[in-house]
Amino acid sequence: VFNIGNVGGGALGFETLLGIPQTVGCIISGGIAVVVFLLKNAMKAMDTLTKVLAGVMIVVIFIVILIVQPPAGQALKESFAPSEDITALMPAILTLLGGTVGGYITFAGAHRLIDAGITKKENLKEITRSSVTGILIATIVRVLLFLAILGVVVAGVALNTDNPAADAFRLGAGDLGYRFFGLVLLCAAITSIIGAAYTSVSFLKTFHKSIEKNEKWITIAFIVVSTIVMAIVGQPATLLVLAGALNGLILPLTLGICLVASQKKKIMGENYKHPKWLFIVGIVVVVLAAYLCIESLSGLGSLFA
């Protein structure tokens, strides 16, 4: 579901940016991801492409924010003291949380570091720097994107449910803003397709040597299947929301496993001591995320109603 949703994001991106039909956009998005893994130095190409696309996203979203001028003060106030009933906000919070750090995303960076040979105690600073940088960039993109759309919806404008975020950019910044968002969505989708496929197969290759030996082709097959399913099923906007929500449902489990592993000397080594404050904060996040999951389960079915 996760990568099918990512391919759907690419379809929406191409439709918004160039007016390409969604089915064709699915195929092109999947094709771009496949080409990356077909390259001779696929891992380096993947790293370079994701960095460039992330930079493009941040710049484009920031430009749109300057155009729509959202009420930042109100956004800050509502973030810490929402006027809306908190229970009504839980499905949205879960979706945003899952889309940022849930599901495969929790492991994507770590798997890439392992494959690059950046492991063990001597590389702890590099590992810490990479993880902190990754979460900071993800947070910045989410906050900027939220502010850009807030600048439009705060005026009481009704958005097109087929592609609501793109419609927000169009209403706030005209046709140029609409195309800008298409570029943002396309960049996000391509990086997500690559990341989800890579991480999913990196899990599978630990089960059998034949999978590890044919990792590239299995990854490509994973992308192709996701693309075909998306092209047949359609509803990219709905699947994107569903993917984020399901990622959020997985978050308590994945984070809980990581917290347990952090206390195991067999896994972490005899000399590693996980900071107590991080462990305690992690437990709090697991409990809160689990609560959000339970409260939001009933709302998932309504996505296809």
CB count in 10 Å sphere of residue 205: 18
> How far apart (Å, rounded) are the C-alpha atoms in residues 164 and 147?
15
pTM of the model: 0.72
* Cβ(89)–Cβ(81) below 8 Å: no
pLDDT attached to residue 118:
79
pLDDT by residue (tens digit) across 93-127? Answer: 776 776 667 666 667 777 777 777 777 778 888 88
Asked if pLDDT for residue 237 goes beyond 70, the answer is no
Between the alpha carbon of residue 228 and those of residues 23, 165, 187, the distances in Å are: 9, 25, 20
> How far apart (Å, rounded) are the C-alpha atoms in residues 289 and 42?
35
**CA end-to-end span of the chain, whole Å?**
18
In the 8-state DSSP scheme, what is residue 120? S
In the 8-state DSSP scheme, what is residue 123? G
> How far apart (Å, rounded) are the C-alpha atoms in residues 139 and 160?
26
pLDDT attached to residue 188:
80
Between the alpha carbon of residue 100 and those of residues 3, 106, 141, 195, 245, the distances in Å are: 14, 9, 10, 13, 11
156 contact partners, CB below 8 Å, separation of at least 6: none
pLDDT attached to residue 155:
64
* Cβ(169)–Cβ(177) below 8 Å: yes
Domains and CATH numbers, the chain: 2-304 (1.20.1740.10)
Token digits for 222? 């994973």
What mean pLDDT comes out for the span 45-63? 79
Q: How would DSSP label each residue in 27-68?
A: HHHHHHHHHHHHSTTHHHHHHHHHHHHHHHHHHHHHHHHHHH
